Amino acid sequence: MKTVSAVFAATIAASIAMPCSAFVLSGPKWPNNEVTIHYEPMLFPSTPGQPPYTMAVWNNAMSDAIDSWTQGANNLTIHKVADHAHPCAGIVGAGASVIAPEDGNRSGVAFLSTMCTESFGSGVLAINVSYSTGSHYTNSDIIFNAAVNWDIHSGPILGSSVYDFKRIAVHELGHLLGLGHETTQTAIMNPAYTDPERIAAGDLNMETPTPDDYQGINTLYGAGSEVPPLKVVLEEPHSHGATVGVGNVRGWAVAKSGIAEVEIYIDGVFWDNAPYGASRADVGAQYPTYPNANNSGFSMINNWSNYTEGPHTIVARAIDKLGNVASTSGLAMVDKFDVSYISSADLVKLSDNISSSGDTITLDNVSINGKSYRIVLKWSNATQQFDIANIINLF
Amino acid sequence: MNIFCKAIATTLLASSIVMPLASTQASTVIQQPIETLAKTSDLVFEGKVVGIRSEAVGKKIYTYVSFEVNDIVRGEYQQEIIELRYLGGTANGVTMTVGDMRIPSYGEHGVYFVEQLDGKTVHPLRGWGQGHFIVKQGSGGQRMFNSQGRAITEITPTKQSSAKARALSNSHTAAGVAMDTGAKQVMDLDTFKDSIRELK
């Protein structure tokens, strides 16, 4: 175990020297980079900690959780008000009267036994419910399941059935501020926490936001930040020339929340998920504020000889980590020889009949596997080479 | 994620497979074993989304998703269409969002674990995203993915599940559901349904 831990330590140390980011943004943000949270929880949990805590203890824990975000949020002002705001304000309950009076969209915290009127369902610890119009939040509340066995403590978790209120509060506050779940990095916004170094050290949980979490908030509320778009570009095949033999289906995709997957469809039928993450320094330079834009390429190999001659539609469908979808399409003008695979260069014989005009080269009477063709080559800026533009069967 | 980050992630993941794994939850929904989800759901069905509508009821907004039922995997249901209610959605220019809630999109084909047929829960599926699986039609047939698009390779009851299966799980997917983004042997729909039916 010590050897393994040492490997982790070295790896983590390296990651600190070269930080990685993969935060996920929910979409909306608070207007004017300001949010006010009435942080004192309404009501008590049903199982009020061991020993039972006073309300002041829960209030202080919530206050500390907010402070942990304030420390790293450079462009967002978090106003912390020592007051209550009922998450169910203005919502009609079972008795046809409102659960709590309308409060003008105040954001608050509560321990409740239901989500105002709905059952939480099995296994639910806490919920963040937000309202937004356009790209801005208008209200956001955090509701803790009062039936959960809550406690407040630092260090290793106490067991599988006791949950630390403050850690969950920090996580839910991340949602309230505009972050989604991050699943690839060590982060308080990661829904499953498995940091090997901390586990090896006996600390089975983190308690505050990580640099990745802060980077997410600072990206969302950075100067001139806007709600993130999603963009996908299909670069190959390109419709100005013929698509022949084995070729690429490639392009790039970026999203402020990160790309979850890129699906490729050919003639309307799902073909496969394209491997994503190829180096694209040019895209990174063009989209410097998009996470992982430097590695935003996707590419797959396809043997177009297996398709009929003529046009085939290719659609690249990018899905970001918020579930947003963007797609782009291209056309593959499949042209091919009479054989699907030319197994040897010996089967290809050029004649002396070669001509050129501008950026086009014509090879006449080319014999391939015993049959004659006229092959037209044309310069392509996209591929930076002469591509086959046309294949004409000579009878 | 750049190449360096990928290398770190790969190292951490590979290492976590060989060491005893202790995973804790910092999420809103506790991760549950797949057999628990299967046994405690009122209904598990394969279906396709054929309709979505949202409406405001006072301050709340609900989204009603209608599914054409293709197959019953567990439980009993006699009708061709089932409608599930999700808390949240957009109506009258206002969007109500419940954290972690992923509402199926129109045309989605999937397998769904319904918590209560007559229930009024925040999320209609057992374990929220853990009870939500997506079917994609590929050249090799109908393949299974979790609600976040990760390929599913195996269903193993948690008492028998390997360390790898646990290492690759998170609260969006039940314990015992093995995933591998790079896997080519993605579980097919029929095998997946058979595995769910056999869970005890």
Instruction: Encode pLDDT of A243-291 as tens digits.
Output: 777 788 899 999 888 898 999 988 888 889 999 999 998 888 877 878 8
Q: Is residue B167 part of a domain?
A: yes
Give me the number of domains chain B comprises: 1
The 3-state secondary structure of chain A reads CHHHHHHHHHHHHHHHHCCCCCCCECCCECHHHEEEEEEEEECCCCEECCCCCCHHHHHHHHHHHHHHHHCCCCCCEEEEECCCCCCCECCECCCCCECECCCCCCEEEEEECCECCEECCCCECEEEEEEEECCEEEEEEEEEECCCEEECCCCCCCCCCCEEHHHHHHHHHHHHHCECCCCCCCCCCCCEECCHHHHHCCCCCCCCCCHHHHHHHHHHCCCCCCCCCEEEEEEECCCCCEECCEEEEEEEEEECCCEEEEEEEECCEEEEECCEEECCHHHHHHCCCCCCHHHCEEEEEEEHHHCCCEEEEEEEEEEECCCCEEEEEEEEEECCCCCCCCCCHHHEECCCCEEEECCEEEEEEEEECCEEEEEEEEEECCCCEEEEEEEEEEC
- Residue B90 contacts A, CB cutoff 8 Å: no
Q: Is residue A1 less than 8 Å (CB to CB) from chain B?
A: yes
When pLDDT is cut at 50, 70 and 90, the band that residue B72 belongs to is very high
Arithmetic mean of pLDDT over chain A: 79
Phi, psi of A258 (to 5 degrees): 95, 150
pLDDT band at residue B18, thresholds of 50, 70 and 90? very low
Domain boundaries, chain A: 2-220, 228-336, 342-395
> What are the tens digits of pLDDT across the range B95-119?
999 988 889 999 999 999 999 988 7
Check B23 against A167: CB less than 8 A apart. no
In a domain, B5, yes or no: no
Sign of the CA dihedral with A367 first, then A371, A373, and A378 last: negative
Q: Distance from B157 to chain A by nearest Cα, in Å? A: 19
Asked if the Cβ–Cβ distance from A272 to B138 is below 8 Å, we say: yes
Site from B25, B87, B126 to mutate, A interface, most A CB atoms within 10 angstroms: B25
- β A107-112/A136-145 pair status: parallel
Residue B68 is predicted with a pLDDT of: 96
- CA distances for A79 relative to A34, A76, A188, A338, B74, angstroms: 7, 10, 21, 72, 49
Does A121 sit within 8 Å of B121, measured CB to CB? yes
Highest mean pLDDT: which range of A3-7, A156-160, A236-240, B38-42? B38-42
Do A123 and B121 meet the contact criterion of CB atoms below 8 Å apart?
no
| Confidence at residue B181, expressed as pLDDT on a 0 to 100 scale | 54
Q: For residue B148, tell me if it sits in a domain.
A: yes
State the first-to-last Cα distance of chain A, in angstroms, to the nearest integer: 73
> What is the band of A158 on the pLDDT scale with cuts at 50, 70, 90?
low
Query: Please, which residues have CB within 8 angstroms of residue A56's CB and are 6 or more apart in sequence?
Result: none
> What pLDDT score was predicted for residue A248?
85
Q: Of A67-81, B67-81, B171-185, which range is least confident? A: B171-185
Helix axis angle for A55-70 and A165-177, nearest 10°, is 50
By percentage, how much of chain A surpasses pLDDT 70? Answer: 83
With 0.80 as the threshold, say if the pTM is over it: no
Lowest-confidence range among A50-59, A89-98, A173-182, A191-200?
A191-200
Is B117 contained in some domain? yes
* CATH number of the structural domain A228-336: 2.60.40.650
User: By residue range, what is the domain housing residue B69?
Assistant: 27-198
Residue A90 has what pLDDT?
A: 85
Q: How confident is the model over A185-201, as pLDDT tens digits? A: 677 887 664 444 544 44
Q: In chain B, what residues touch A295 (CB-CB under 8 Å)?
A: 1-3
Say whether residue A211 is in contact with chain B using an 8 A CB cutoff. Answer: no
Q: What pLDDT digit, counting tens, does each position of A278-337 carry?
A: 999 888 887 787 888 899 999 988 888 888 877 788 888 998 887 777 877 777 777 777
- The reply to whether A4 touches chain B by the CB within 8 Å rule is yes
Question: Is residue B4 one of the residues assigned to a domain?
Answer: no
For chain B, the distance separating the N- and C-terminal CA atoms, rounded to the nearest angstrom, is 40
Confirm whether B106 is domain-assigned.
yes
Listed residue (A278, A289, A171) closest to A220, CA to CA = A289
Q: Which fold has domain A2-220?
A: Collagenase (Catalytic Domain) (3.40.390)
Whether A278 contacts chain B with CB within 8 A? no
B12 is a domain residue: no
State whether B122 and A115 contact (CB < 8 Å).
yes
Q: What is the reported pLDDT for A242?
A: 67
Choice between A390 and A21, residue whose per-residue pLDDT is larger: A390
CB contact under 8 A, A119 and B127: no
Does B69 map to a domain?
A: yes
pLDDT band at B38 (very low <50, low <70, confident <90, very high): very high
Q: Provide the chain B residues 145-184 that lie in CB contact (below 8 A) with chain A.
A: 148-149, 167, 169-172
